Amino acid sequence: MKFNNRPNRCLEVAGKTCWISRDVTVLGIAFFVIGDTAYVPLGLRGDQMPTESGKWGLPGGYLDYDETAGEAIIRETWEELGLNIPHLQQQYPFKGSLDQPYYVSSRPLRLQNVSLRFPMMFFLEDKTQLPPLQPQVAIHEVAETRWYDLEKASQMQLAFNHQDMIQHCLENYYKGIWPAQ
């Protein structure tokens, strides 16, 4: 896939690394439902990541220059998991939004001042194989990818408390949608 973004830049100022436009992040909260079971794709953060290395987490990252938040979540999901979200939207019934986040967290003076959460739920037919996970980034960024059933993923201690964000998304955005009542 080709993207029109320009990566963030950093400057060294008085011995400190200062990132330019590096305070807004996007987070993809993706579910793939087959029958009565939902699955969550997770990536294992590589050993050279500055924070939360060695922990499983949802796809996400910083918004780059020249891209919308929706473009950023598509790019991050592609880079970290190898999932082509626009293609999957054409292939399977989809409930979610790539235009607007369902939740915005704003916490000044943190590494991620603003975090935009995007819900993505795909409904696959029974006996359908989950899409292959093939990260497009170096192993030091995403060491491994794996599908977890939702129940297990919700009980794991994920990077950046992503397990809480999974639960929040289910209880707020997907309430009354899944699990089917």
Taking a C-beta distance cutoff of 8 angstroms, is the pair 30, 89 a contact?
Answer: no
Q: Calculate mean pLDDT across residues 141-151.
A: 97
Structure tokens of 36?
């009565």
> Positive or negative, the Cα torsion across 92, 75, 132, 158?
negative
163 near 154, Cβ under 8 Å?
Answer: yes
Domain ranges, ordered by start, for the chain: 19-172
- Which of 71-75, 111-115, 136-140 has the weakest average pLDDT? 111-115
How far is 93 from 90, CA to CA, in rounded Å? 8
Q: What is the pTM of this model?
A: 0.86
Find out whether 70 and 99 touch, Cβ atoms under 8 Å: yes
3-state secondary structure of 46: coil
pLDDT tens, 30-78? Answer: 999 999 999 999 999 999 898 899 999 999 998 887 789 999 999 999 9
Task: Please compute Rg for the chain using Cα positions.
Answer: 16
Band the pLDDT of 133: cuts 50, 70, 90: very high
In the 8-state DSSP scheme, what is residue 128? P
Pick the CATH number of 19-172 from 3.90.79.10, 3.40.50.2000, 3.30.830.10, 3.40.640.10: 3.90.79.10
pLDDT reported for residue 160: 93
* CB of 74 closer than 8 Å to CB of 177: no
Taking the CB of residue 119, how many other CB atoms lie within 10 A of it? Answer: 21
One-letter amino acid identity for 158?
L
Residue 95 contacts residue 179 (beta carbons within 8 Å):
no
Confidence (pLDDT) at 81: 98
